[in-house]
Structure 1
Amino acid sequence: MIQLRAALLLPLLAAAPLAPDRHAWLEEIEGPRAIAQVKEWNADAAKILTASPGFAATRDRARALLEDDQRIATPNTVNGETVLNLWQDGKNPRGLWRAASLDSFASGKPAWRVLIDVDALGKAEGKSWVWKGADCRAPRYDRCLVSLADGGTDAVVVREFDIAAAKFVEGGFALPNAKTNVDWAGDDALYVATDYGAGSLTTSGYARIVKRWQRGTPLASATVVGEGIEKDVRVGTRVFNDGGTAYPVFERGVDFFNSEVSHIAGDRLIRSPLPTDAEIEDVLDGRMIARLQSPWQGRAAGTLVAYAIADVVAGKAPVIETVLVPTARQSIEQVAAGKGVVWVKLLDDVSGKLVALTRTASGWQAAPQPLAANSTVQLNAVAGVRDLAFVTVEGMLTPPTLYAVVPGVPARAVQSLPARFDASAMTVEQRFAKSKDGTRVPYFIVRKKGVRGPVPALVHAYGGFRAAQTPTYLVEQPYRAGPVALFQVERGNAFVLANIRGGGEYGPAWHQAALREKRQNAFDDLHAVAEDLIRTKVSAAKRIAISGRSNGGLLVGVAMEQRPDLYGAVIMGSPLIDMQRYSKLSAGASWMGEYGNPDVPADWAFIGKYSPYQNVQAGKNYPAPFIYTSTKDDRVHPGHARKFAAALGETGTRFYYDEAIEGGHAAGADRLADAQRAALIDAYLTRELSSSSASTSAPQAARVRSSR
């Protein structure tokens, strides 16, 4: 759930003046004229790139890698004595939702029972269903609220599902398509935050009202639990289950990073004593566990704290307990409570660590769990009935291994993947670049041993929303164009993962260093990594490609305009581009805590300096970007990508464009779509980073037909 903070009252200021937008028609998501232009751009790029030597073989290999049955069956959740998993492969691109006993799964030999065949369900119902998760009724876990999206949007339909019968409940709970937040409020009631009609949504397009819906009654008669105001980001609930007891909270989102959190006690809402920017994590032994994002009561930002919920509900001032204090080089990334243990996944100089925390008479005790050093650790799921966690450990050259971890005993491998490529000839190392203001910026680099530079380099970065970028196996990196990184390294090129400011690699301060008016720090960090690659002769100017999705798409859009001398290729996925209108498109208003409000002149003064759409200039030698998005992306509006392509085309700048019809913000509804896009990107990189002049070898067909 998005975290929020009470907004400060701003003086009444005139909105930033809007320049006439000749490309506003491209914001019409399904507009016939806009779709015709998208199809033309798609065809232009496909004609060029699919004709590249070896394209079909690259696409087929990408698909084989992405759909290979030899993959970790990652536990999505552990419900009591049952493990739930969504399995996708070549035969089941949308997935099989299935269940196995906890014992069989932990033994490494799960006996799976299929609950829902998502592909078959979509075919039977004439829908392009994409799985969006399930919330099951605790502590019996016999009924689940299943969320499905037609085409992969953030908006979902919700239906009640019977686990034992493996079918949807006839006459059970059901909610129509909307951006819905739903939780169980007992055996026969739900907390529902959804679109209730006119006036029930925030300006961000999310629910403004939470109601309690009793089984057997119409949704229209549901009683209000809590509500926010229209300018809030969203409202919703979370229900934490601890030893059979449910602890529900109501969250009123004010901006992306701040929430007014209240405990639900009958028909009362009782405010949490935590600061509004604290992140609620879980409940153990009746204690709310939370992570601080700013200093509070003498505790540093990043500290994990706890308090007794019963004291707050009773009107008492709770004792705030310090659970864990990370060092200056550490960041807490994941927190989950088991039966008697709080599991914490840390980053330590961007390397993963796992810690088990227990509460004793003398305070909270931390026990580091021995796992492979210099690896990425993912806390997949935690059992609530045992002190057992499932953790994936991997590296860029090391295939994933899923471990079952119990405090005090060596971790046991549940499933290990064989190597998917020959890593013996490759090397990975961590380096540090110095940014413009002197900040040390870490990055990882993978390349073949003994390769002498300069060679083409693909640099991926994100730099926002506290989201750390950690090194994972090269075969499949969902936010890094699938196996493209592997293909580049095998070809003798370099792949770089940059840990720039704005993410969560070093805790709250690392994120806050690139907030709002400090955004330029993230851009400077990316430039610094590129310059370090040149300084160390790994690569050379104009032979560096940069890649980013969503906020990362904004990052690389800015970078190509600020430093066209550095970059030879730019991969922009589902990008934010028009920062003057971003808060009015799809879910954009929810991100003003990150970027600022463009309608406030003081904010537009710094946003306008970097907004890619407003800063496109004729006569600049921009690299030709590969821009991809999805028509059904209801988070970052596809108009951003479309309008940027149009603006570039007007200046004579070449570009490649790929807009998937389905897939939502992920830009691909299944692995086949991901493989096609990976092959397109690989062909694009080969074309644009070749030693020959791309500006003369690339056809002009990718320009916009602005006279439409």
Structure 2
Amino acid sequence: MVARLALAAALVFAANPILAQDTDAEDPYIWLEEIKGERALEQVDAWNAATEELLTKSPEYPVARAWAKQILDDDRQIAMPTAILGNQVVNLWRDAANPRGLWRIASLDTYLEGSPQWRVLIDVDQLGKEEGQSWVWHGANCLAPEYRRCLVSLSPGGTDADVVREFDLATGQFIEGGFTLPEAKSNVDWFDEDTLFVGTDEGAGSLTESGYPRLVRLWKRGTDFAQAELVTEGEVSDISLNGFSVLDGDTRWRFIRRGVTFWTDRFSMVRDDGSTTALPLPEDAEYEAVLAGQVIAKLNSPLALPEGQVEAGALVAWSLGDIAAGREATPEVVFRPTPAQAIEEVDNSESKLWVKVLDDVSGKLLELTPGPDGWTSRAKDLPTNSTIQLVTTTGKGDTTFVTVESMLTPPTLYAVSSEAEARVVASQPAQFDASKFAVEQRFATSKDGTRVPYYIVRPEGAEGPLPTLIHAYGGFRSAQTPKYLTAEPYRSGPLALFWLESGNAYVLANIRGGGEYGPRWHEDALREKRINAFDDFNAVADDLVKERLAEPGRIAASGRSNGGVLVGAVANLRPDLYGAVISGSPLDDMRRYNKLLAGASWVAEYGDPDVPGDWAFMRAWSPYQNLRAVKDYPTVFYYLSTLDDRVHPGHARKMAAKHEALGQTVYYHEYKEGGHSVGADHTEDAKRAALLLAFLNREIGGGRE
């Protein structure tokens, strides 16, 4: 396969010298990588203005924008528990009056009864006004079991980098003289009440090539950070290092995770004196939880045990007591999924392990219990054919909170107890008439014969081809499960609903690269196999055409982040299929991606363009290098954020410039805040949904010219 791809790429590049761009000197648009460069921002402003000038005049734009804002700000939304802190629950509430959010707390009993009495801890909007900062909430880490001291993370403008401050939950105030870290991509957790694990930017040599902490220190209260004790350090080539602790009953276990590559980690146990002992987890296993004195991980490759081989995708446990005592820890099988299943989420309460399993992309919740004769499994009674997500669990008692939803059914929050039936805590009201639409799961056949599932939503009773929006991701083990239509596709708000209400069709494609069927589904799209993800997406589009559900030229491909690589590649490979492309915060220039912001951390996923053998297969599908002059090339809309410090805005900027140079129409909208999430608040999210709807209508829908 690699040789075939390399040969095809060489022929294309030889015939099209404008595409070469194999070196920085050959890239005429590299100046657009200056994130806040004057010339670059002038170009961004011009693109933004042109896009808004055209699309905001569409008759549907003001209606869609107002409707999206109403949906996003609806105060009937579920107040999701971001954490259960003993007998209290905390939540971040965002609405029209509080666009950045209220961090608030209530008793767990009143919350379960449906009548929580909230006490506001931090008004993020007000704090931003007082401090002259555009704060975006990044969460809080509160120390168990007292849950009085919390580490609050706030980001200026929504970047991945944030400021950390210590907060007193009882007084509702930041602690004067408490732990504080300046803006950085820090890794921070509690070691004990007066000591933190800290990895942060300490200047030259303290970060990895990916821009994350390379050092982990123990910082004691009341001392200068310069005096913090070094616990461990990684290599510059690593992804990142972090220390963390877990309370298991009355025992606090402490660990160091060294991310060697994006998909391999080395874990160590940290003793009270700061010394470390390596854990026996395979490097490609995923740490999931600590329960009953055992560390639990998900396998991503087979593991040989005395009783036989355990397949990839299974959960396995090791005794921490044996490891701490220097004894050999024999792995114990916790749970084995079937070939049609994949373990997607794992969490634990006081004595139970809660596992969300995908079964042909439909969610199931399992309760696993450790015992002297091994682990027992029990399925919990929740609505079938739904998407289930673990929200949080209680530290005392055995209750987990989960949401259940589908494309046509709004989310319902359940409290699932080990000892009783699942209890409805809250339900989001319906935002549309679901009887108008029909959902079906179908399967396409990819080029290599693989069956690829996808969900299609159409108006009830519709016949014949319809303008169709296909959304997918296809990478990083991230499964794409059906969500309520007001939240699909990712970061585009209620766009899918608006598109359907206009009489069109929406598709969610479960292509390879994700985690829908466990490790194998991801591995089949890694590195030189990336072409499989693109073939899967095109196979879904071809299947829709074959079944007379869609027609070439009136299909839109949608993807964000890693999905930007996807839609850029499929547009280049099959421009005959697509009339429009939505590309959010995309990766596109795979020749330079590893040199831009966090790009070096994804080499294990895509390949290393600085290695000739890797670039040989990457060049065959890199969107930027393969963009060429093609008749009726699909029109692309790029949306992104200037402050994205994960995926560099230069990717989309350079693509837009190249489209223009090739005489292709391009739409572009770069928001100045929001980070990788793009929208820092609901106002921007609503605007983006309306712009994208107007774009789709203009290019492949009823408004097509």
Both proteins in one fold, TM over 0.5: yes
The answer to whether the 8 Å contact 2:191/2:244 transfers is no
Matched, 1:361 2:361: no
Q: State which of 187, 191, 194 in structure 1 corresponds to 2:197.
A: 191
Which position in structure 1 is the counterpart of 2:276?
A: 269
Output one character per residue of 1:215-246: Cα deviation in whole Å (capped at 9) or x when no partner. 00000110011110111111112211111321
**SS of residue matched to 2:258:** strand
Tell me which of 516, 529, 532 is aligned to 2:540.
529
Q: What's 1:469 paired with?
A: 480
Residue ranges of structure 1 left out of the alignment (5+ in a row): 1-14, 698-708
- In structure 1, C-alpha distance between the alignment counterparts of 2:695 and 2:160, rounded to whole Å: 29
Cα shift at 1:79:
1.7
Q: Distance in 1 between matches of 2:601 and 2:561?
A: 14
- Aligned: 1:315 with 2:326: yes
> Quick one: structure 1 residues 55 and 691, their matched pair in 2 at CA, closer, same or farther if it must change by over 3 Å?
closer
How far is the alpha carbon of 1:618 from its aligned partner?
A: 2.2
Q: How far off its partner does 1:408 sit? A: 4.3
Q: Does 1:289 align with 2:289?
A: no
Question: What displacement does 1:263 show?
Answer: 0.7
Tell me, yes or no, if the aligned pair for 2:489 and 2:496 is still in contact at 8 Å: no
1:548 maps to what in 2? 559
Q: Which amino acid aligns with 1:288?
A: V
**2:65 equivalent in structure 1:** 59
- Alignment map for 1:362-377 (pairs within 5 Å): 362-377=373-388
> Which residue number corresponds to residue 131 of structure 1?
137
State the partner residue of 2:339: 328
Matched, 1:515 2:526: yes
How far off its partner does 1:361 sit? Answer: 1.8
2:622 to 611, 632, 647: 611
Query: Aligned partners of 2:636, 2:450: CA distance in 1, in Å?
Result: 29
AA aligned to 1:589 is: A
What residue number does 1:87 align with?
Answer: 93
Partner AA of 1:275 in structure 2: P
SS at match of 1:95: strand
Q: Distance in 1 between matches of 2:630 and 2:676?
A: 33
TM-score normalized with structure 1 length: 0.95
Shift of 1:621: 2.7
Asked whether 1:483 is paired with 2:494, we answer yes
How do 1:86-235 residues align onto structure 2 when only pairs under 5 Å count?
A: 86-235=92-241
| Equivalent of 1:407 in 407, 414, 418 | 418
- In 1, distance between residues paired with 2:492 and 2:319? 44
Q: Does 593-602 or 104-113 show the bigger shift?
A: 104-113
Distance 1:162 1:430 in 2: 49
Shift in Å at residue 81 of structure 1? 1.5
Deviations 1:646-673 (A, max 9, x none): 1111100100000000000011101110
Q: Does the CA contact (< 8 Å) of 2:292 and 2:370 recur in 1? A: no
5+ residue gaps, structure 2, are 1-20
CA drift of 1:150 comes to: 0.4
| Alignment correspondent of 1:575 | 586
Given candidates 20, 23, 32, the residue that maps to 2:29 is 23
The 8 Å contact of residues 190 and 244 in structure 2, kept in 1 or not, is answered as no
Distance 1:216 1:544, change over 3 A: same
Structure 1 SS opposite 2:277: strand
Per-residue deviation at 1:477? 2.9
Structure 1 residues 48-96: Cα deviation after superposition (integer angstroms, max 9, x where no partner): 0000112111100010011111111111111221211111111111000
Deviation track 1:141-168 (CA, whole Å, cap 9, x = no partner) reads 1010000000000000000000011010
Which of 574, 599, 616 pairs up with 1:588? 599
When structure 1 is superposed on structure 2, of 407-416 and 596-605 the one drifting more is 407-416
- Cross-structure match for 1:72: 78
How far residue 691 of structure 1 moved from its aligned partner, in angstroms, is 6.1
Determine if contact 1:460/1:480 at 8 Å carries over to the other structure. Answer: no
Whether 1:257 aligns to 2:268 is no
- Aligned partner of residue 71 in structure 1, secondary structure: coil
In 2: Cα distance, 1:507 partner to 1:240 partner: 26
Contact 1:545 1:570 in 2 (8 A): yes
C-alpha contact (below 8 Å) 2:447/2:535 kept by paired residues: yes
Deviations 1:166-208 (A, max 9, x none): 0100111000000001000101010001001111001100000
Indicate if the aligned counterparts of 1:464 and 1:551 stay in contact, CA closer than 8 A. yes
Note the C-alpha offset of 1:101: 1.4
Query: What is the total number of aligned residue pairs between the two structures?
Result: 680
Deviations 1:121-159 (A, max 9, x none): 001100000000111111111010000000000000000
SS at match of 2:653: helix
Aligned to 1:685: 696
Which aligned runs of 4 or more in structure 1 are off by greater than 3 angstroms? 15-19
Quickly say closer, same or farther: Cα 1:619–1:400, change in 2 above 3 A.
closer
Q: Are residues 97 and 431 of structure 1, via their aligned partners in 2, closer, same or farther at CA, if it must alter by over 3 Å?
A: same
What's the secondary structure of 2:246's corresponding residue?
strand
CA RMSD of aligned residues (A): 1.2
